[in-house]
Structure 1
Amino acid sequence: MNRLWTPAWIVRHVAMVVLVAGCLGMGWWQVTRAAGGNAISFGYAIEWPVFAGFVIFVWWREVRQTLRAADPASSADPAASAGPAPSVTAGTPAVRRPVRVVRVPSAPADGADDAELAAYNSYLSWLNANPGARPGDYPG
């Protein structure tokens, strides 16, 4: 529980209380306006407590996530679990490096070679061979 009393969490707790109190206060203000004859305020009188409920929901979800992340029972040995072994460790995000593949252009099906297509393929080959070059630098 001590991890919920760090300076950052104290700010979150205070912000949650201030936002909930503000939303409920605005809801009460809309109720008084609706009682005074403003028909549109009935909708707002319902809307503001919903906002307060959303703030509480987000705060509670963050508290649960923080408590679960630091729970020693949740970081048990993955080899002891019944499921298949994960491909990455528990704390490592699944980020992969790009794979460079050499692609060989296929030959035309009918055997005919179009001059315009050959020029375009030459241009693309030059761009691939010169990754830092701009299209305007093409010598052809």
Structure 2
Amino acid sequence: MRWLWTPAWIARHVAMVVLVVGFLGLGWWQVSRATAGNSISWGYAVEWPIFAGFVVYVWWREVKLARRNTAEADAPPADPADVPAAELAVTTGSRPGVRRPVRVSRAPATGDAVEDADLAAYNHYLSWLNANPGARPGDYPG
């Protein structure tokens, strides 16, 4: 538990305490306003403690995540020969070490390439724009 007392964690603890106390104080302030006759403050009186609960939840989740990461770092490394590659990727949370490129065929799927008239017109327009770099799209003659 020594890792909970590093400067970064002390700042997180202090921020959590300040936010929770501040949010609960704002909730109490809204309750006092609501009892004085401001009916919309009842909604805020419920909302501020929910914010405080969310801060506590995020803080607790970060503590659990840091504890899990510390336990994984302290554990002895598993022998990769004993563990299948798919299970090793799942347990370590990373991808397998060897990745192969995806091969994509550049040939058309059918033997006879059917030309789309709209696609041919658009390609002609793009080649005209490329041949005339100073021209505006409205200058296209086609």
TM-score by length of 1: 0.67
Change (3 A) 1:46 1:12: same
Contact 2:16 2:55 in 1 (8 A): yes
Q: Which of 102, 106, 117 is residue 105 of structure 2 equivalent to?
A: 102
* DSSP-derived class of the 2:87 partner: coil
Which segments of 5 or more consecutive residues in structure 1 lack a partner in the other structure? 124-133
Letter in 2 for 1:4: L
| Residues 86-125 of structure 1 aligned to structure 2 (within 5 Å) | 86-87=88-89, 90=92, 92=94, 99-105=102-108, 106-108=110-112, 114=115, 116=117, 119=120
* DSSP-derived class of the 2:92 partner: coil
* DSSP-derived class of the 1:58 partner: helix
Change (3 A) 1:108 1:11: same
- Distance in 2 (CA, whole Å) between partners of 1:7 and 1:31 is 36
| Equivalent in the alignment of 2:78 | 77
| Equivalent in the alignment of 1:47 | 47
Change (3 A) 1:104 1:8: same
- Distance in 1 (CA, whole Å) between partners of 2:118 and 2:130 is 20
- Distance in 1 (CA, whole Å) between partners of 2:8 and 2:66 is 12
CA RMSD after TM alignment? 4.1
Taking only the aligned residue pairs, the percentage that are identical comes to: 50
Letter in 1 for 2:16: M
Contact 2:30 2:44 in 1 (8 A): yes
State the number of aligned residues.
127
- Distance in 2 (CA, whole Å) between partners of 1:71 and 1:91 is 15
- Distance in 1 (CA, whole Å) between partners of 2:112 and 2:129 is 28
Which segments of 5 or more consecutive residues in structure 2 lack a partner in the other structure? 133-142
Q: CA shift at 1:90, angstroms?
A: 1.6
Q: Which of 122, 130, 138 is residue 137 of structure 1 equivalent to?
A: 130
Contact 1:30 1:45 in 2 (8 A): yes
Contact 2:89 2:95 in 1 (8 A): no
TM-score by length of 2: 0.66
Q: CA shift at 1:2, angstroms?
A: 1.3
- Distance in 1 (CA, whole Å) between partners of 2:100 and 2:131 is 29
Larger helix proportion of the pair: 2
Q: CA shift at 1:117, angstroms?
A: 7.8
| Equivalent in the alignment of 1:16 | 16
